[in-house]
Amino acid sequence: MTTSPDLAAPPDSGGLPNLRPSSPRYGEKIIFGILAGSAVISVATTVAIVLSLIMPSLDFFRDVSIVEFLTGTEWSAGFQDAQYGVLALLSGTIQVVFYSLLVSIPVGLGVAIYLNEYAPDWVRRAVTPVLEILAGVPTVAIGLWALYALTPIVADLLPFLEWGTYSIGVAGLAVGLMSVPIVSSVSQDALRAVPDSLRQGAFALGSTKREVSIKIAVPAAFSGIVASIILAASRAVGETMIVLMAGGGRPQFTFDPTEPVLAMTSFIGQTATGDIAAGTTTYDTIFAVGLLLFTITLILNMLAIRMVRRFREVYE
């Protein structure tokens, strides 16, 4: 048995082995600092945004009662004798969400079920990148397309309704097409997490492909599918550019898809242009609407996260 003298622990004064670090290991500390710093930045940004929404909102609610804000249906911010009934804006937002889900749920789910349960490998490989491209199209381009291409198509398809240049229905439709990849990719993840043994079990009971997909795979992936829908809804609530460009700018409490309606996001996008004096009620209004928007999307995202966690727990 030979022991290299280099490896033998040099006995220190007390005769104990020297187990102190052989070098100061600065690299470890630097990496830790960078990573922890990144985490702090993202948390700090979120906190800063929330605070910057809350502060002016508090000023706003000193001038306008919160009850009037949440229950009023007249909106005329910036005008003489201004009305701040946010339901007028909320009706636009709700319509955008509704019409967009009308498109994104069936199409997105259809895509997910087709790609995961039916499509051969090569189709899946070809279609998935196309969906990713769709997800990456700038919303301003979709807005433009909605305004100049989609509106005439919709007017042709539904001639019994009177379609103007701007309509909240067409804006919602365009947002829905944009959200298809959100629904399809999250639903597809959920379907993929369903163990194949369940499908095999159902096939072994003499089920057809449709029965296996609809009665086994979809129910087993249900919470993930619901999560994908909530995420798409949340995306539609927050979508600004398409709604601003194609949805029109009239603040009115209506549920008519052919009407131009100012949604919450389009109000913010339209009003926050820099020529509004800080500290005025109109200025504060933007933040109050922003805070409400933030609250809605926060609740939706929290719901979605809970749903996604649930389907992960079942099968992982």
* Binding positions for another protein, rule: CB under 8 A: 121, 195, 197-208, 211, 215-216, 219-220, 314
- Asked if residues 246 and 201 have their Cβ atoms less than 8 Å apart, the reply is no
Q: Residue 242: which of 134, 314, 170 has the closest Cα?
A: 170
User: Cβ of residue 228: shortest distance to another protein, in angstroms?
Assistant: 19
User: Cβ of residue 210: shortest distance to another protein, in angstroms?
Assistant: 10
- Asked if residues 262 and 251 have their Cβ atoms less than 8 Å apart, the reply is yes
Helices (H), 114-221: 121-136, 139-145, 151-157, 168-192, 196-204, 209-211, 218-220
Which residue, 220 or 233, has its beta carbon nearer to another protein?
A: 220
Which residue, 92 or 224, has its beta carbon nearer to another protein?
A: 224
For residues 217 and 206, give the distance between their C-alpha atoms in angstroms, rounded to a whole number.
15
Which residue, 154 or 194, has its beta carbon nearer to another protein?
A: 194
Q: How large is the greatest C-alpha to C-alpha distance in the chain, in angstroms?
A: 97
User: Cβ of residue 311: shortest distance to another protein, in angstroms?
Assistant: 10
Which residue, 117 or 189, has its beta carbon nearer to another protein?
A: 117
Residues in CB range of 114: below 8 A, 6 or more apart: none
User: Cβ of residue 303: shortest distance to another protein, in angstroms?
Assistant: 21
For residues 180 and 101, give the distance between their C-alpha atoms in angstroms, rounded to a whole number.
9
Which residue, 200 or 280, has its beta carbon nearer to another protein?
A: 200
Which residue, 77 or 194, has its beta carbon nearer to another protein?
A: 194
Helix (H, G, I), strand (E, B) or coil at 140: helix
User: Cβ of residue 199: shortest distance to another protein, in angstroms?
Assistant: 8
User: Cβ of residue 202: shortest distance to another protein, in angstroms?
Assistant: 7
User: Cβ of residue 201: shortest distance to another protein, in angstroms?
Assistant: 4
CA distances from 75 to 7, 87, 150, 186, 249 (A): 80, 8, 28, 37, 12
The amino acid that residue 312 corresponds to is R
Which residue, 1 or 204, has its beta carbon nearer to another protein?
A: 204
